[in-house]
Structure 1
Amino acid sequence: MTYLVGYGPRNHDRSAVELACQLALSEPQPVHVVSVVPQGWMTPAASGTDREYQAWAEQEGQTATAQARADLAEHPAVEASAGWVSARSVPQALLDEAERQEAWMLVVGSSEDAEPGRIRLSSKTDRLVHSATIPVAVAPRGYRSNAPVARVTVGFRDDDESWSLLEKTAEICRRTNARLRLVTFVVNPSRRPVTAPISHSETQVIKIWSSHAAAALKKAEEYLAGQGFTGEKLQRQLVEGEDWATAVQGLDWADGDILVVGSSATHLVSRVFLGSSAAKILRNAPVPTVIVPGMAIGA
């Protein structure tokens, strides 16, 4: 079992390596960094241009590998390695490598145009996230941390997918010896909760939904207490805000925090399809976020 890190050639942000090493210190597993370079057409009789292109791609792979090894050298306590592969599709190459390495988590960085300290998926990582069958951890742009994973925050909606996500989050906490924080977001940009299937906008409806959400959180807390999460190991919180940025930033965040969100289980396969709430949480998250595939229909 490994943490597989996607590392782009000419990468100027080592945030994914930093996050993977942080996770590895909390749940000791090897870290393997892989860079994907373009693959030539592999014609039987390669022309001079084809050979030049192949040589350029190999040089890119060697350069990226050397840079990744230099980044990994900053974490001598972590068992780590780096390499490169050539492929037509970066997301598919990473998924194939994850299967070959028996990775239990993929780790990627944010897009180069993300604001420092924020998460934004590039087109390639977006395709990767939506095809993955294992958790995908996304580091904020420029992420650095010397702290182990101390607390895992999970968004809870009291539906089948949320209960499945709760089980998976509890397992992450056990593996990393982290505290678990259970949160329900009530976002009210037009005086109605985005996370609830309620179309009314009256204040009374918001109060009723908040009351139901609080009761659901208590029920989840009682369940987790039965799983060994008691005392300081467990915290629950209901957060309200006029928009997603206000709600997410309304939580106290600290070094050593990670956030877990789940996928929408509207597809027949157990893969990651971000619902609107998870996508909005992801965009506003100030800490590394792990996206967990949802429960397949009929599973």
Structure 2
Amino acid sequence: MTYVVGYGPHKHDRSAVELACQLAVSLPEPVVAVSVVPRGWGTPVAAGTDREYELWAAGEGEDSAALAAADLAQHPTVDGSAVWVAGRSVPQTLLEQAAERDAWILVVGSGDEAEPGRIRLTSKTDRLVHSSTVPVAIAPRGYRTSSGVTRITVGFRDDDASWSLLTRVAEISRRASARLRVVTFLVRPSRRPVTSAVTHAETQVIDLWSVQAASAQAEAQAYLNSMGITGDSVRLHIAEGADWSAAVAGVDWTDGDVLVLGSSSTHRLAQVFLGSSASKIIRHAPVPVVIVPGTAIG
């Protein structure tokens, strides 16, 4: 198995390589940085022009692979290599490379418009997240670390997919000798006078969410204890806030943290979660995020 890294020829941002190597230090597997360059059309009419285009693309690919190899060289303990391939679609080509190279995680960086230390999905990474059958790890812009993965935080919603994800992430945290944290994110609008738009009934619903979240967390605690994950190796937390920014900021994040979120195949569309709460969590997360499709991880 491998970590396949999507390495942009013109981004010159080693964040994705940095994250892949961090993961490889904690769970050793080879890291392959893949640069995708445009493929020529191969039509007889444009044969001459197409040949020139392919030579240009090959030069771009070789330059990008050399940059990726230099970035990988910053991590001499990691088994890393860099290649370039031609393709018409970057996301589709990366998905093909992930399948061909038996990737268990596909690693990408953030969009250029992201603030330093934050994540933004580009149209290409958004397609990867919604199309990949393997987990997609996204590095914050400018991500650097000297730490392995020391703590894995899993977003927990108390549905079937969350329980399956929790089981698999718990096993991975044990293999990586990383602490496990189970977080339920709960957005609670600020309480207002009864004359405001927030009715008494809505307040009761919000309070019920808190009770249900606490009950689910207690059940998760007992479940993890039954797996032998006890003591300081596991923590559970309900992150409440008036909005998603406040809820995510209410969690203590440190170097060595990785956040894992899942999308559920039991929803009408797997994109439902990614299009609502998960996308908001990703936007405010100050650490790398791993998006797991359905229950596929490990």
Matched letter for residue 263 of structure 2: S
Q: Give the secondary-structure state (helix, strand or coil) at the position aligned to 1:118.
A: coil
Q: What is the distance in 2 between the residues matched to 1:48 and 1:84?
A: 23
Match of 1:62 in 2: 62
TM-score (norm 1): 0.91
Give the equivalent residue in structure 2 for 1:195: none
What one-letter code is carried by the residue in structure 2 that aligns with 1:8? Answer: G
CA deviations 1:130-163 (Å, max 9, x no partner) are: 1001111000000000101000111111111211
Q: How do 1:191-270 residues align onto structure 2 when only pairs under 5 Å count?
A: 202-266=202-266
Unaligned runs of 5+ in 2: 193-198
Asked if 1:107 is matched to 2:110, the reply is no
CA distance in 2, matches of 1:235, 1:271: 28
| Contact 1:133/1:270 (8 A) holds in 2 | no
Matched, 1:179 2:209: no
Question: SS where residue 274 of structure 1 aligns?
Answer: helix
1:16–1:107 CA contact under 8 A, matched in 2: yes
CA distance in 1 between partners of 2:278 and 2:227 (Å): 25
Supply the distance in 2 between the matched residues of 1:286 and 1:273 (Cα, whole angstroms): 20
Deviation string 1:150-191 (CA, Å, 9 cap, x unpaired) is 001111111112112212221331232211101111102366
Does structure 1 residue 118 correspond to structure 2 residue 121?
A: no
Partner of 1:92: 92
**Aligned residue identity for 1:249:** A
Q: Which runs of 5+ in 1 are unaligned?
A: 193-198
2: distance between equivalents of 1:271 and 1:176?
Answer: 29
Deviation at 1:237, TM superposition (A): 0.7
* SS in structure 1 at match of 2:117: coil
Contact 2:264 2:270 in 1 (8 A): no
Contact 2:20 2:107 (8 Å CA) reproduced: yes
Q: Secondary structure at the match of 1:130?
A: helix
Distance, in Å, in 2 between the alignment partners of 1:211 and 1:7 is: 44
- Residues 1:268 and 1:243: Cα distance change in structure 2 (over 3 Å): closer
- The residue that corresponds to 1:129 in the other structure is 129
- Give the distance between the partners of 2:42 and 2:87, measured in 1 at CA: 11
Distance (Å, rounded) in 2 between the aligned partners of 1:266 and 1:57: 42
Which residue in 2 is equivalent to 1:80? 80
Native 8 Å contact 2:161 2:266 kept in 1: no
Task: State the one-letter code of the partner of 1:120.
Answer: R
Q: AA paired with 1:41?
A: W
Cα displacement (A) at 1:225: 1.0
Q: Please report how far the alpha carbon of residue 21 of structure 1 lies from its aligned counterpart in structure 2 after TM superposition.
A: 0.3
8 Å contact from structure 1 (residues 270, 295) kept in 2:
no
Equivalent residue number for residue 14 of structure 1: 14
Q: What one-letter code is carried by the residue in structure 2 that aligns with 1:36?
A: V
2 CA distance for matches of 1:57 and 1:119?
29
Matched position secondary structure for 1:35: strand
d(CA) in 2 for partners of 1:243, 1:271: 21
Code of the residue aligned with 1:9 in structure 2: it is: P
Cα distance 1:210–1:35, how it changes in 2: closer, same or farther (>3 A)? same
Q: Decide whether aligned partners of structure 1 residues 268 and 171 sit closer, same or farther in structure 2, where only a CA change above 3 A counts.
A: farther
| TM superposition shift of 1:292 | 0.5
Does residue 31 in structure 1 map to residue 8 in structure 2?
Answer: no
Distance in 1 separating the partners of 2:255 and 2:58: 38
Indicate the residue corresponding to 1:71 in structure 2.
Answer: 71
- Cα offsets for 1:51-93 (capped at 9, x unmatched): 2211110011001000000000100010000000001011111
How many correspondences in the alignment?
290
